[in-house]
Amino acid sequence: MDGIALGKKNYSLLRDVLESIGCQITFVQFLVVILAEQGEWFIVEGNVTENSERITLRHKYGEKWSYFLKSYILGAYETGLALDGTCRLHPK
């Protein structure tokens, strides 16, 4: 399964599980709370709000991880979430 399909599947599953117990999660919460804080996949730089147009993510896992993250996050985004912007990869 590729990153896009995995992102779509995991985010949809998480939303379904949370909705079944009366909770909701936004795309930004998914990135910040689930992937960054709980999963430790990356660090979110700066203060991020639901209205943020840009979110900067940093990690120490290399270029292949950057490409996976890009596809995974795009997959989650494509599930119809309300984040107005684009996902661009800027590896350093």
Strands (E), 51-91: 56-58
Strand partners, 45: 56
Model confidence, pTM: 0.80
Average pLDDT for the chain:
84
Residues 22-54 have pLDDT tens digits of 988 888 889 999 999 999 999 999 888 888 888
Q: Tell whether the torsion through CA atoms of 38, 3, 12 and 57 is positive or negative.
A: positive
Which of helix, strand or coil describes residue 68? helix
Give the pLDDT confidence score for residue 12 in this predicted structure.
86
